Amino acid sequence: MILAVASGKGGTGKTTVAVSLAQVLGSRVQLLDCDVEEPNDRLFLDGRRRAAQVVSVPVPRVDVSACDGCGECGRFCRFHAIVAVQGPPLVFPELCHGCGGCILVCPRGALHESPRRIGVVEVVDAGKVTLVEGRLDVGAALVPPLVRAVKAHLAGDRPAILDAPPGRSCAVVETLRGADAVLLVTEPTPFGLSDLEQALAVARALGLPCGVVVNRVGIGDGRVQAFCRENAVPVLAEVPDDRRIAEAGSRGEPLLDALPEYRGLFQSLLEKATRLAATGSGLS
């Protein structure tokens, strides 16, 4: 079973939910931090780094002696990463998505693949939780290939929790793809509702079963819950607005270690999410 934890808005509590779910799972579990631009699951887990892997994308290198400046490569590239305006093409590696198309269309065989590093993936053993963390290099902008590299560590023989980036970007789509269910974490504010609507649209476009976790219940209003009723998306858990949760987070303490009384709430969430993943519907 693969559960993805996502949200339209940042700072709603994805990491809190993802780490807590990993902790209440009875068996060995993989926790994949796919928020590679700002991974933070590791702040809450003590463990030993077992493996590290550098992730690269292939970018074109121009053999100037073989190039006749025909410009086919530049006409092919949708991302303007290789530009032929006069003479041999100019390459902008930071714009390149590594598709290799320019190399295929070059009639002179003047382009070759050369690896460009974008980040690392590290594996940390923290008790029964195996954390796989992707970390994008400073200055690198290409996120989806790094998310794919994190997800390549999915073992398949044990449950996995995917901690997604916020928003509805390519990186989010890459994270959610292939999940058995998506838990959308939101807060009961107009801002939370607006971003929930967008995140739900992405998850539904991918055909994934969705449930909502409303965090900080007690602030804002009831519009998130009303929206969920109207759109037949189940609210799987409501986490109260409890200052102690924020304080534990700011100390880098997992919520369930600091406040064990919340264990039942997350156990119930896990059961409902498991049912959602198994049946494609959280409506019992």
Among 19, 81, 171, 199, binds other proteins (CB under 8 A): 81
- The candidate with the shortest Cα–Cα distance to 193, out of 135, 148, 235, 149, is 235
- The candidate with the shortest Cα–Cα distance to 221, out of 191, 250, 197, 178, is 191
C-alpha–C-alpha distance, residues 145 and 151, integer Å = 10
What one-character DSSP code corresponds to residue 220?
A: S
Cβ neighbors of 205 (< 8 A, separation 6 or more) are none
Burial of 117 (0-12, 13-18, 19+ CB in 10 A): exposed
Q: Is 250 in the site for other proteins (CB under 8 A)?
A: no
C-alpha–C-alpha distance, residues 283 and 281, integer Å = 5
Q: Is 273 in the site for other proteins (CB under 8 A)?
A: no
Q: Is 80 in the site for other proteins (CB under 8 A)?
A: yes
Binding mask 127-146 for other proteins (x = CB under 8 A): --------------x-----
Q: Select the span of 29-37, 78-86, 234-242, 245-253 touching other proteins (CB under 8 A).
A: 78-86
Size of the residue set binding other proteins (CB under 8 A): 12
Take residue 44 and report the two structure tokens written for it: 């809450």
Among 54, 92, 264, 278, binds other proteins (CB under 8 A): 92
Among 87, 109, 178, 218, binds other proteins (CB under 8 A): 87
Burial of 51 (0-12, 13-18, 19+ CB in 10 A): exposed
Q: Select the span of 17-25, 58-66, 79-87, 193-201 touching other proteins (CB under 8 A).
A: 79-87
State in angstroms the smallest separation of the CB of 7 from other proteins: 21
State in angstroms the smallest separation of the CB of 95 from other proteins: 5
Among 27, 48, 85, 260, binds other proteins (CB under 8 A): 85
Radius of gyration of the chain (CA): 22
State in angstroms the smallest separation of the CB of 154 from other proteins: 28
Binding site for other proteins (CB under 8 A): 74, 79-81, 83, 85-87, 90, 92, 95, 141
